[in-house]
Amino acid sequence: MWIEPKELLLPSTFWIAEMYSRYFVLQKRRGHGESRGFGSMLVGTYDSVWNTKPAPYRIVHRTPSSEVSYEIAIGITQDEIAQDWEWLQANLFNVLNEMENEDEVTNFTICKIKSLYTQNNQDETGETADFKVMTSQFRKTFKMPEEERLVNSYSATYVKNKIPRQGQLYISLNHVCFYSYMLGHEIKRIIRFAELEDISRNANTIYLKTTNNMTYNFTLIFNAGEAHLLIEQLNKMAIQQLIQDPESPVVDHDPSNFARLGTKTSKKPVLLRDLTARQKSEEFRIYFRLPQTEIIDGKIKANIWTPYSKRFNAGYIYLSPNFFCFRSDVKDLVSVVIPMKTIKSVEKKDDGQQRFDNQIVIITSENVPFMFAQIVAREVLISKITDLLSRIHVPVSRERAKYDISWSKQTALMNTFKTQFSAEIIRNQEEKMVRWEAHFRDFGRGIGMFRTTDVINLIVEGIPDQLRQEIWLIFSGAIHDKEMNPGLYEDLVEKAACIKDCFAHDEIDRDLPRSLPEHPAFQSTDGIGALRRVLQAYALRNPQVGYCQAMNIVSSVFLLFCDEENAFWMLASLCENLLPDYYKDKVVGAQIDQGVLNELVETHLADLHEHLEQLGVIKMISISWFLTIFMSVISYESSLHILDCFFYEGAKIIFMVALQIIEWNRDKLLKCQDDGEAMLVLQNYLEGIYNPDYQVPPSTDKRKMERSQTQTVQTLIHEAYTKFGEELTQQRIEELRNKHRRLTMRQFDVDNEKTIVKAYLQNPYFDRNELHMLLTIIREEKHALKSMQQQQKTQCSLSETPQLLMHQSPTKVPNEPIPCGGGNGRHEAYCVNYEVFHTLFTELTPWRKCVSVDIGEKLFRLTDKKGTGYLDFGQLINALGLVCSGKSMEKLKLLFVLHLPPLLSKAEIERSRRPRPRTKDDAEEAFEAEDFFDDDASESMEALPSPSDHQFDADDYALISATQHLHNLAGISGNTFMDLSRNTPNLSLNSNTSSLAQRNSTFYVDLPTGAFPDLGAARMTPPLGATAGAASATAAAAAAAAADKMLLNVETISNFSQISDLVAATRLDRADSNATDSRSLGSLGYLLDQPDEGASGSRQTIPHLRKENFQLLWRSIIEIMGCVQDEEMRMAYDNLLELGNSNIKKEPSLESFTQLNLGGSGDEQPDSNGNPTTPAAEHSSTTRLFVALEEELREASGKATNSSRDSSSSTNTSEAWHISINQFIATVLTVNSIVEGFQTPIQITEQIEQLQKKRRKCLSTNY
């Protein structure tokens, strides 16, 4: 790529010239693409230590007489730099040779390259060439996909075993990576943000700890603070993404509209600037209580005129698309929020004594002036405001669908159900109202009021009932969401009312009677109806939250003082902005703040913390306190006071009040001996908190009448502000939340693992520690796989990945409302798909050495009994445990089964005879994939049966198997048989049979479904590659005649009602026959579920092995043994071959799970093991019809095959060759080396640690 020309004083240092011309030279970085010689090691070490990391190729311009050169182009690959060199050859070489002055040559070249650089970077992202090179090196070094965007990199030192390693710390959207190269020794480390458990910083050193207890220390000389904040921010985004959608753990940044007001431009990477703007936007929204869609556009230094104090106050102006805000430098001195839509004019003020102060005056639609002075870049500010005003969009109520539901919005319930207060309380309310009105006169009213410490004092004293709706809407920010979504509430209410059989609605109806039941408003249909509509509408608006207990309590209080729509928007603001994640699955937000409170108690009440930790009290109290904002534990009239402060301060007031309550009960809590006693102490104290300014009439409840008053709520709030208000800042709370968000999510995983381990502790293979490690590696591999799948647009590169069924992940439906109390996906979280299983099998088991046959794929198919494409943890334990155990007998049986058809198909056998090394070349993968999924569907792994398919019942199987057995005698293929069945009218009368040809999830190997060739077309069109000779014509005519004959005979007996007797007889025969007990793969699952079952009663149901399958089985054994075959193994192999030859003269063996013997052949013979077969059932009349047809087909088949019998004798002999599992195991057990190898157990703990080490070090794998 072309770059801005840069001067070089030492152009040849560490570079090798590849191409020359008179004025240009193409150079390659020394060591790139070469073997690591001493020189290349020195260059690599130099680049790593000094953080140079240049592009591997570059083009330099120089003149013969000049000592200064210019770097004009760089390239990541040789092809890329070659394109630039070719352009120079075609466009500049001849032109420059005609110039006589070297200065003219240099000036012309630099001017031309600058022009090219400008043209080629017009549509780019704005990144510098150096950053593009850095990004390319990052992706190449750590094998990251294109979608993984690099944020920034820093020169850092990684200390390992007390040895410092200088290198580069790369920070991308989802990973922290480190690379170092020191004198031939490479170090790579990859850490996912989602697996970080602790992040801390001391001076210039950043400390990271992962969930698997790995620690990393990175020392940065420069920008340590920036790197630490960036890691904290990206970790927060990763954990929030896990909370929002555990199935999509990858963070994807949507670039914000970041733009600076000043004229300076930053040289930092674009994504880093966007993330910085994102962080600032979040702080901006939290402070000013703005909607989540607001993105900060910039800030600028200015002073604001405050008319109540007659002076200017210094601060900053903040701009966003819909709001103009100001915040003073002095904390809480003054702040202002002005909606852009209310700005009527913006004018310069250049008169008077302060005409040189760069003043502007903003006038709102209510004719309220706001004056600002000492503005930096006033012209830029006015231009920006004008631009934002031109793009402002004022939403209007939209047309909505009409529903057949009659309802009307409920006004504030306190106006309908009025409380009879005493004269003193009414007088106090009036006095508060006077003070508030005076404040409005001085500081303004509505959204644009001056927000100062005076308003905080008024709120602490209490808000009058008449003003609660207005003040709550303004300071919670709910007013903005309401104005931006006019008509949305009505739409949601009517749509929610039309939803039937909704789980969230059932939960809401169940909790309605428990919502502030002591208030008369919620003993009436008006209050209950309004509360139901609010909760149902919000469940529809936010399906991720749906409905959670405690939402009914806070909503009922909102409805007392706000009308119905305002109460809805208050609830939305509470759930989405003020207490994020509180009401989601597992109330994760409340559990995070529970950890925050625990640490605050440890900090401020250290002597009490250890005692409360032993009792476990904080875990018991925090959830109920936080979810209802103390409404469930403090009287309604007192909790109103806390709620007033909550909407102004946010979650800060909850922590302050909780700390104050615990401190007041310090002495009593220290004397408590158990958690019940401590809870009783706190309960009695909280019930005694009262509000003297808001006393409702005495309750008739004797228990409430007997309460002893402990403290006023005004004193509680005042003391909380006094003792904890200054130390407990919003920034401190956010830092603690980030820390405990990581710890809480980690604790969820730990609790899940403990529960699952307890359930599977009695398994015969793994102990407690091994189960924990297995769960850990499953979780890590699933997250890594999901990250790659979400980032990559292409599918997994494994060409032999089976794609059996269209299945859903065993998780909840995304749009389904989540019930309160947590989800039920504890075990589902550790289900594994084929990709994860393949990784675990290859990395953890000794059978990974087998390369001729993909044993892992076969084992996955055999274990997945329900055909879901997933294995649960129990199935995974059985599969991996058996392979890693020392049970040689069971392992040999399993290996035998894994080489039987249809697990081992003919296509794989043919492919194994022409082995090719597995590479990652795209063309090779495409060839393997095409070879694997060949035209014959019966030989594809997609044709494997699934026992979970209920559309294919026993009648289908018996009928199709019996009929196909007859057709096989005449040489009719399975495809032709299916075509005959489909084209025969009477056969299609049965619904089960007709559905067979349409199924795409379950079918047997010998009965493929799909697009079968039309029989008529087969008669007319010769096969591909055939000539028009007489032989071809004769063969085609004979095939057509045979097909016509077969079609005629089938039609004579094709009525399904006439052959039900045959089906019954076939099913009876199938139930009794030992040789035909296995109709599908799932029938052999007992090998994994009951590995210790006696062989005598189990091997009879296992089919025999054909010669080509046996040869692959023996090759697999050799590979498992390390590709070493001793004399005993050779003798065993020869003995097995002889046994197979001796079985040729016996009765034809069962060669597949899907074959079925048809009873009543008339000549019963013992099976290959010498066991007598079950007598056939007596033939019915319909059965005799089939027997007659069989005889007819046998005669036709005999006449057609006499001429070719000699030529096919060798093939028939090979197909008749077989061995039984008894013969196989009895012979193999005589080989000491095989027995010893299969009896050696594998310590899975060591294998898991090695796999984790590979992942951390970014070591490549061979699969």
The answer to whether 300 touches 317, Cβ cutoff 8 Å, is yes
Residue 534 is predicted with a pLDDT of 96
Residue 129 is predicted with a pLDDT of 73
* 342 DSSP 8-state letter: G
The answer to whether 96 touches 22, Cβ cutoff 8 Å, is yes
For the residues of 793-847, what is the DSSP string, one character each?
Answer: SS--S-TT---------SS--TTSPPPTT--S-TTGGG-B-HHHHHHHHHHHSGG
For residue 299, the SS3 value is strand
Report residue 811's pLDDT band, with 50, 70 and 90 as the boundaries: very low
Cβ neighbours around 861 below 10 Å, total:
22
Query: What average pLDDT does the structure give for the chain?
Result: 75
Q: How far apart, in whole angstroms, are the C-alpha atoms of residue 1072 and residue 1075?
A: 9
Q: How far apart, in whole angstroms, are the C-alpha atoms of residue 832 and residue 871?
A: 5
Residue 696 is predicted with a pLDDT of 65
Q: How far apart, in whole angstroms, are the C-alpha atoms of residue 207 and residue 152?
A: 18
pLDDT at 1072 over 70: no
pLDDT in tens, 561-594: 999 999 999 999 999 999 988 998 788 999 999 9
Q: Cα 102 from chain centroid?
A: 60
pLDDT at 252 over 70: no
The answer to whether 820 touches 549, Cβ cutoff 8 Å, is yes
Q: Among 402-406, 1165-1169, 1238-1242, whose mean pLDDT is lowest? A: 1165-1169
Cβ neighbours around 55 below 10 Å, total:
24
pLDDT at 998 over 50: no
* 674 DSSP 8-state letter: S
Q: What is the 3-state secondary structure (H, E, C) of 224-255?
A: HHHHHHHHHHHHHHHHHHHHHCCCCCCCCCCC
Residue owning tokens 């408003």: 521
Pick the residue with more confidence: 986 or 1173?
Answer: 1173
Paired strand residues for 371:
361
The contacts of residue 1130 (CB under 8 Å, 6+ apart) are none
Q: Sheet holding 196-202: strands in order across? A: 185-192, 175-182, 163-172, 150-160, 215-219, 205-210, 196-202
* 900 DSSP 8-state letter: S
Alpha carbon dihedral 147, 151, 155, 161, in 10-degree steps, equals -60
Residue 957's nearest CA partner among 1000, 901, 902, 1002 is 1002
Residue owning tokens 């510098």: 128
Residue 988 is predicted with a pLDDT of 32
Phi, psi of 97 (to 5 degrees): -65, -25
Residue 770's nearest CA partner among 1090, 1248, 1089 is 1248
Report residue 698's pLDDT band, with 50, 70 and 90 as the boundaries: low
- Structure-token pair, residue 1235: 């027995």
Alpha carbon dihedral 500, 503, 509, 510, in 10-degree steps, equals 150
For residue 372, the SS3 value is strand
**Quick one: the chain helix, strand, coil %, rounded to 5?**
50, 10, 35
Give, in degrees to the nearest 5, the angle at Cα 641 between 636 and 643.
85
The contacts of residue 998 (CB under 8 Å, 6+ apart) are 1009
Handedness of CA 663, 669, 674, 679 (dihedral sign): negative
Residue 469 is predicted with a pLDDT of 95
- Structure-token pair, residue 828: 């589902």
pLDDT in tens, 1185-1205: 445 545 554 555 454 445 444
Highest mean pLDDT among 643-647, 917-921, 1057-1061: 643-647
pLDDT in tens, 363-389: 999 999 999 999 988 899 999 999 999
The contacts of residue 1263 (CB under 8 Å, 6+ apart) are 798, 838, 839, 842, 918
What is the chain's length? Answer: 1263
pLDDT at 813 over 50: no
Paired strand residues for 364:
343
The answer to whether 387 touches 533, Cβ cutoff 8 Å, is no
Q: Residues of the chain with pLDDT > 90: what percent? A: 32
- Structure-token pair, residue 861: 């198919």
Q: How far apart, in whole angstroms, are the C-alpha atoms of residue 448 and residue 469?
A: 17
pLDDT at 46 over 80: no
CA 251 → CA 239, 787, 813, distances in Å? 9, 9, 21
For residue 4, the SS3 value is strand
Residue 638's nearest CA partner among 579, 707, 549 is 707
The contacts of residue 123 (CB under 8 Å, 6+ apart) are none
- Structure-token pair, residue 212: 């698997």
Radius of gyration from C-alpha coordinates of the chain? 39
Phi, psi of 60 (to 5 degrees): -120, 135
Counts of helices then strands in the chain (DSSP H, E): 49, 23
Phi, psi of 364 (to 5 degrees): -90, 175
pLDDT at 957 over 50: no
The contacts of residue 41 (CB under 8 Å, 6+ apart) are 31, 183, 184
Handedness of CA 369, 370, 376, 381 (dihedral sign): negative
Residue owning tokens 């749906």: 546
pLDDT in tens, 906-947: 777 776 666 544 444 443 333 333 333 333 333 333 333 333
pLDDT in tens, 817-875: 333 333 345 667 788 889 899 989 999 999 988 888 888 888 998 888 888 888 999 99
pLDDT in tens, 220-241: 988 999 999 999 999 999 998 8
The answer to whether 381 touches 360, Cβ cutoff 8 Å, is yes
